[in-house]
Amino acid sequence: MGGHSGKQRSREENLPLIELENRIKEILNNHIETETLAKHIMTSPVKTLDVHTTIKASKIMLRYGHNGFPVMDKEKLVGIITRQEIFIRLNTIVTKMKQLIFIY
């Protein structure tokens, strides 16, 4: 037959349902990490943008696959810029250019 001996199988089959559920939870808690720490999924070293970086930041984001970057002024964190903010700004620029073209 399969992977377990009959003795082990019958022992687990004879457990009341609530005890079996608790045993399964205990096994899962002991073997599966339920909380993920930021340090386990963060990108390192940190990629940052200087406060004077132009809109080319969107190209940098695409290159590294990030949706945002910390913005630094010398050694001081001054903000965060996201891909969404860049695209909103680019859309504003394009809209203004269309208006200028329409006027002339």
pLDDT tens across 20-34, in order? 888 888 888 888 776
Residue-wise pLDDT for 39-64, tens only, equals 888 888 888 889 998 767 667 777 77
* CA–CA separation, 47 and 3 (whole Å): 49
**Two tokens at 44?**
């390192």
From 3.10.450.50, 3.50.30.50, 3.10.580.10, 3.40.50.1820, which CATH number describes the 38-103 domain?
Answer: 3.10.580.10
Looking up tokens 């019958």 gives: 10
Q: Is the peptide bond before 70 cis (omega within 30 degrees of 0)?
A: no
Where along the chain do its domains lie? 1-34, 38-103
Q: Return phi, psi of residue 77, to 5°.
A: -70, 120
Residue 70: which pLDDT band, with cuts at 50, 70 and 90?
Answer: very high
